[in-house]
Amino acid sequence: MRIVPEYIRLLGLLLLLAMGVPVFAQYETKLSVSLNEYTKELDIKQEYTYYNDSRYSLGILYFNDWANAYSKKNTGLAKRFGEEFKKSLHLAKDSERGFTNIISVVDNEYNGLQWDRAPGEDIVQIRLNKPLAPETTTKIFITYKVKLPSDKFTTYGYDNRGNYYLKDWYLTPAVYDGKWRLYANKDLEDLYTNITKTTIEFNYPDSLYLTSNLTIGTESKFPNSQFAQITGEKQKSAELILRTTDDFITHITPTLTIETDISAPRYSSMEQSISINRITDFIHENLGDYPHKKLLVSQLDYNKDPLFGLNLLPSFLRPYEQQFQFEMKFLKTALNSMLKETLFLDPRSEQWLNSAIANYLMIAYVEAYYPDQKLFGNLSRIWGLRSFNLAKMDFNDQYAFLYNLMARSNRDQALTVRNDSLIKFNQKIANKYKAGLGLAYLANYVGKEKVDESIKSFFTYYQLNKVSTKDFESILKRATTKDINWFFEEYIASDNRIDFKIKKVEKLGDSLAVSIKNKAGTNVPISMFGLKNDSVISKYWFSDIKEVETFTVPNKEEDKLVLNYDQKIPEFNQRDNWKSLGGFLSSNKKLHFTFFKDSENPNYNQVFYVPVLNFNIYDGWTPGMRLYNKTFLERPFVYDFAPSYSFREKAFVGYGRFNYRKYLNKTGLYVSNYGISASTSHFNVNSRATSVTPSLSFGWRPDDLRSDKREFLTFRYINILRDFDESIQDLANDFENPDYSVFNARYLNRHNGILDYNSWSVDFQLAGNFSKVAFEYEYRKLFESNRQFNLRFFAGKFLSNNTDTNFFNFALDRPTNYLFDYSYLGQSEDSGIYSQQLIIAEGGFKSFLDEEYRFSDNWMTTVNSSINLWRWIEVYGDAGLVKNSGTKAKFVYDSGIRLNLVTDFFELYFPVHSNNGWEVGQPNYGEKIRFIITVSPRTLTGLFTRTWF
C-alpha cells in the first residue's frame, strides 16, 4: 500500500485549512499531584487554561469529574451497574468508594469562583465572574483531593497488592460545540473532553514503577518517594499505571515505539518482538504515522475490551496457537489505543467509526496472515467436533455470527445509537462487529483499495483535531463513483435487516433470468455467485432492489446460484440464499442430523439430537433423546421433542412442542408467539397426566431497549387427560371427570431490576365447573442502607365454583398445580422432603397450616414480605384472609427466617411462629423447613443473559 510522504501530509493539512476544517487553539492544564499510599488519595493542584473556541460568550464552564462517580449510590455509574445486575457499587463500603473533595476554585485574579455539581455527581459546574468572550482564554486554579476507588468496580483505582491504575482521575473540560456535551461516567470508556496540552508533576512512593500513555520526562528519587514530570501534547487525558513490579517492556520498531505488558507465557520474548514488528508494520501500512512519541498497549486495556472467544476459556484450554493468540490480543488493543489517542470523535454518539476501522483492520489482518484459521482453532481437527458446522467456520465468520445473535432475537440496534443506550452485548460486541463488517461489505462492493485508501487518508488528515463521522463519509464518497448512500442511511443509521432470496431462475438460451426478492425492504446491494461442482465460476452485484427485480446474466453452465456465498454481507437469513439449476428434486435439501446444538448450515435441513435426563419421584430418572431444530441463532419456527423412558414406571414420557415466533416491531407490540405443546408424565404411582395446550401470546417493550420492563398477554387452552392407579381410585372418584380443560388468559407487567423490581399480573381461568380471577403484585427494593425489602400481594376470587374438591381451589402454602405449570419434584406429595419444595404462588405461605386454612373455594388475600438482617439472611412474615363458602373469613399468618442465597433460584425458609404456634420447638421441625431450588438449565442461564441482554 502506498505510504503518504510527510510533505504530502503537510500539504493535505494546509488544504484542509483552506477547505474550512477547523484547527483550534489548544487547551492547557498543569497539575501538581501527590499520591498518598496510606489513604489512597491524590492531592491535586490544577491550573487550567480554558480557550473559548465557540462563537458564544460563556459564563459557565463544565468539567468532567469522573472520579466522583464512585461516591454515591445514585450516580450514573451506580445506576448503570444496577441495570446490569451488578450490586458491587451499591453494597460497597465507604473505604472502597472513590470521590472528589474540591477545596477551592479561583480565577486568574485569585477571586473565588462559585461551583456546584450536576445531578449525576460527576460533572462540575463552574460559574465565571465575568463571561469568557469567543477566541479568548482564562485561567482557573482548582485545589482538590481525589480518593481513589477500589479496582473491583471498573478495574480503575487501587488493588489489594499495592498497584494503581489511574484513568479519568482528574478534572477535564467538557466539550462545548454550541451545546454542552455532559456525559456521565458509565464505565463505557468514552470520556469526551477537549484536546489538551498536559503537564503533570507527580510525586509517588518509591516502591512503585510508573507507566503512562503520555511522555515521562524528568525523574528523580528521594527518601521514600520519587518524582516524575509527565507531558502530553494534543492528548485528551493521562493514564497512569503504578505497579510494585516493572512489567512493561518498550519495543522500538521501525514505525512505532510501543510500551506494553501484554505477553504470552509459552511464546518467547524474541517471538513476541517479531510479532509486534509485524503488527506495527501492518498498522503503519494501513493507517500511516502515529503522531505521538509512543503507544501504550496494556493488558488492563485489553481486559476492558477483550477479543470475544479468546477470553471465554482458561488458558490451558484455549485452542489457538500462541502466536495467533498473542497477535490478536496485541493487535486489537493497539488499534483501539491508537484510534482513541488520535481521532477525536464524540465517543458517545459516534463510537461506531473507531470500532469500524479497528475491526475492519482485524478482519484484514486475519485474511492476510491467517486465512485458514478456524473459529474453534485446533479443536476443529478433533474427532467428534470437526463435524460441527461451528467447527468449520472461519475465525472471521464470528463477526456476522455474533451480530446476528442479536438481530435474530430482535435486539439489534443502529450503529448511531448512543453508547449509553446500547444493550450491553451490542455495546461490547455486536455493534462493533457490525461496524467492522460494514466496511468489509463496502470494500467488497466498491473495491478494497478504495476503502483502504479512504481510511488512511482520514487517519492522516484528521488526526489530533476535532472530527466527525461526516468527514469520513465525505472522503469515502470522493473515492468511488458508485452510489454508497445506502451504506450510511440504511446500514449505519438504521437497524433494518438485510435479507434477500432468489425467487425464480429461468433459462433463456445462453442467458439466465434471475428474480431476486428483497424480503426485508432494506435497499442495499447484494452479491450473487455462480457455482459449478462447488467452485465459483461467476460473481455479480445487484443493487436498487426495492421488492422483486429480475436480472439477466450469462449462462455459464452453473449448477447452483447462491446469494452472498462468501458471507461478506451480514445477512439476516441465509437459509434461502441458494437455487439449484439441476431440476426440482435437486433443490430439496437433505436432512442432516447433528449431535448437540450447532450453527446454521443453509445447505441442509438440520435436526439436532442430544440425550436428556429428567427426574421426578414417580418416574425416577428418565433418560431420553431430545430432537429439535433450534440453532445458536434464533429462528422463527421451532420444534422440540424429547421422548423419554421411565424405568420406574416402565413407560414412555416426555414432551413435544411447535412454536412460531414473529417479531412485529422493535418496540411497543414487538413479538407474537403461536404454539402448541404436549407433555406426559406421572403425577403419582402408576398415574399419568397428559396435557395438550395451544397458546397465543403477545409481548410489549419500551423504546429504551436497555429497560427490563416487559408486558405480556397470553391466551392458553389447557387440556389435561389423567389416568389413575387403582390404589388411588378414591382420589379419582372425587372428580366428576378426571379429564378437564381450562381456558387461561393472563396479563403480566414486569420490571425486572436488581435494585427495584416490581411486577403485577391478572389471571383469568374458565373451566366447565369453575371460573376465577386472581391478581398478584410483587415489589422488591434495595435501599441505600443496603436493606432489601420484599413485598408480595395476592388476591383471588371464584366467580363460580361447582367443584367438590380442593384440587382447583386457591392454595395457601402449596398450590395443587392442576395446570401443570410448576416444576414440582413431587407433584402429589403431602409428606417427606419433596413436599417441602416451595413454589411462591397463590397464597405464598411457608408454614404448613391446618387443613381448614390451606385452601379456599371462595376468596383469598395474602401479603408476603421479608427484609434482610445481614446480607442474604432475612426475616419474613406472611398474613392473609381465607374465605370458604359457608364460613367466616379466617385470619392466617406465619413468620420465620429466610436464607436468600440466590433470589428465585435457591432459597431456604425456616418457620418460627404461625397459627401453629412457636414452630421451632415443635416435633419434627426438619419437616417444616421449605426450600426453593431451580434445576432447569434454561432458567439458570437467565442469571447470565439478564446481565448481557
pLDDT at 18: 43
Helices 469-479, 351-369: axis angle to 10 degrees equals 50
Positions in the chain whose pLDDT score sits under 70:
1-26, 309-318, 583-589, 727-737, 935-947, 949
Q: What type of residue sits at position 25?
A: A
Is the distance from CB of 490 to CB of 496 less than 8 angstroms? yes
CA distance 704 to 144: 37
CA distance 143 to 45: 5
* Grid cell digits, residue 882: 381465607
CA distance 896 to 176: 57
CA distance 82 to 73: 10
Unique residue bearing C-alpha cell 393472563: 746
State the alpha helices, DSSP H only, in 423-500: 424-425, 431-446, 448-462, 469-479, 485-486
Q: Could you give the 3-state DSSP secondary structure of residue 297?
A: strand
pLDDT at 946: 67
The region, left, alpha or beta by phi > 0 then psi within -120 to 50, assigned to residue 633 is beta
Q: What type of residue sits at position 279?
A: I
Q: What is the CA radius of gyration of the chain?
A: 33
CA of 141: how far to CAs of 49, 605, 905, 909, in Å? 9, 70, 54, 59
Unique residue bearing C-alpha cell 439436532: 608
Q: What is the mean pLDDT of the chain?
A: 90
* Grid cell digits, residue 335: 488499534
* Grid cell digits, residue 875: 426475616
Q: What type of residue sits at position 269?
A: S
- Rounded to the nearest 5°, which phi and psi values hold at 286? -95, -20
CA distance 947 to 315: 24
* Grid cell digits, residue 225: 518517594
pLDDT at 942: 61
Q: What type of residue sits at position 374?
A: K
What is the DSSP track for 388-437? SHHHHSBTTHHHHHHHHHHHTTT----TTS-GGGS-HHIIIIIHHHHHHH
* Grid cell digits, residue 310: 479468546
- Rounded to the nearest 5°, which phi and psi values hold at 83? -65, -25
CA distance 709 to 638: 26
C-alpha atoms less than 13 angstroms from C-alpha of 873 in its C-beta half-sphere = 2
865 - beta bridge partners? Answer: 791, 877
The size of the chain, in residues, is: 949
pLDDT at 725: 76
- Rounded to the nearest 5°, which phi and psi values hold at 339? -65, -40
- Rounded to the nearest 5°, which phi and psi values hold at 787? -80, 135
pLDDT at 310: 64
Q: Could you give the 3-state DSSP secondary structure of residue 788?
A: strand
* Grid cell digits, residue 821: 405449570
Domain ranges of the chain: 500-588
pLDDT at 692: 96
- Residues sharing a CB contact under 8 Å with residue 289, sequence separation 6 or more, in sequence order: 6, 9, 255, 460
DSSP tag of 366: H
Assessment of whether the complete model's pTM goes beyond 0.95: no
- Residues sharing a CB contact under 8 Å with residue 478, sequence separation 6 or more, in sequence order: none
DSSP tag of 246: -
Q: What type of residue sits at position 907?
A: E
CA 413 to chain centre: 12
* Grid cell digits, residue 418: 448512543
Torsion, CA 892, CA 893, CA 899, CA 902, rounded to 10: 50
C-alpha atoms less than 13 angstroms from C-alpha of 607 in its C-beta half-sphere = 11
pLDDT at 495: 93
Is the distance from CB of 114 to CB of 126 less than 8 angstroms? yes
pLDDT at 938: 58
- Residues sharing a CB contact under 8 Å with residue 401, sequence separation 6 or more, in sequence order: 393, 599, 632, 633
Torsion, CA 374, CA 376, CA 378, CA 380, rounded to 10: -80
* Grid cell digits, residue 489: 442511511
pLDDT at 731: 58
Is the distance from CB of 545 to CB of 527 less than 8 angstroms? no
pLDDT at 478: 96
Share of the chain above pLDDT 90, in %: 71
Is the distance from CB of 150 to CB of 96 less than 8 angstroms? yes
Cβ atoms < 10 Å from Cβ of 188:
19
pLDDT at 758: 94
pLDDT at 851: 84
843 - beta bridge partners? Answer: none
Cβ atoms < 10 Å from Cβ of 440:
23
897 - beta bridge partners? Answer: 875, 910
Architecture of the domain spanning 500-588: Sandwich (2.60)
Cβ atoms < 10 Å from Cβ of 489:
13
CA distance 442 to 888: 76
Going along 783-884, which residue ranges are E strands?
788-801, 810-811, 855-856, 859-870, 873-883
CA distance 517 to 318: 42
